Amino acid sequence: MVTICPHSSLLVLHAIDMWKNSLSSLIPSTNLKLLAIVAAIAAFSIASFATTVSVSTTTYQSQYGVSYNVTGAFTAADQGFSVAPVSVAASAQPCTWANAGTCATALTGGHYKYTLTLTLNTVPGSTTTYTVTVKWDQGTGQTQLGQLTVSVPATAVAGQAMTFKMDTGGTSFTAPLSLDVTVA
């Protein structure tokens, strides 16, 4: 037969109360912002630890620098060099602005071409003709790669984009090189 002392149950209850008090002291009752910050740090720590990072290798065949001097009416985006698959006649100058349109010098199949995209930021108050000039330097001094003109009507819409292509005149070029793109 087991006899339980009435004081032992009081001791157990007292121990439980002390344990609850020590746990509740860990939770800030007056500063919930602190609790939110600590919880956010813990969540971000767990998320960043669980994140995987993948690395891929890319081999660049050449590097070049592009300098833009573009009127505020446009934003220019370099599309790089590629080989023209077929010969194409030059666009009539000035090209008429057309969303998703193309304006090009004569392109010879097998030659490298340089491609540039212009996005219209500001529509002119009346039809305005802009000149797109690209000069390049392959280490022997700067020469003109090509020049195109485009006529932008007052009915154009901001956000429209047009592509400009210029034949490099050859099946190879020297890298590294620099390009100067001017739209005025």
Per-residue confidence (pLDDT) for residue 61, from 0 to 100: 47
The rounded distance, in Å, linking the Cα atoms of 136 and 69 is: 14
The rounded distance, in Å, linking the Cα atoms of 169 and 176 is: 17
* Total length of the chain: 184
Average pLDDT across each block of 10 residues of the chain; the chain has 184 residues. List them in order.
54 61 59 77 74 54 74 92 95 97 97 95 95 92 94 96 96 84 92
The rounded distance, in Å, linking the Cα atoms of 165 and 104 is: 5
Residue 151: name the closest of 121, 123, 180, 114 by CA.
123
Per-residue confidence (pLDDT) for residue 59, from 0 to 100: 47
Domain ranges of the chain: 65-183
Q: Which CATH architecture has domain 65-183?
A: Sandwich (2.60)
The rounded distance, in Å, linking the Cα atoms of 136 and 175 is: 11
Q: Give 73's DSSP letter.
A: T
128-137: strand order across its sheet: 64-70, 177-183, 128-137, 142-152, 95-96
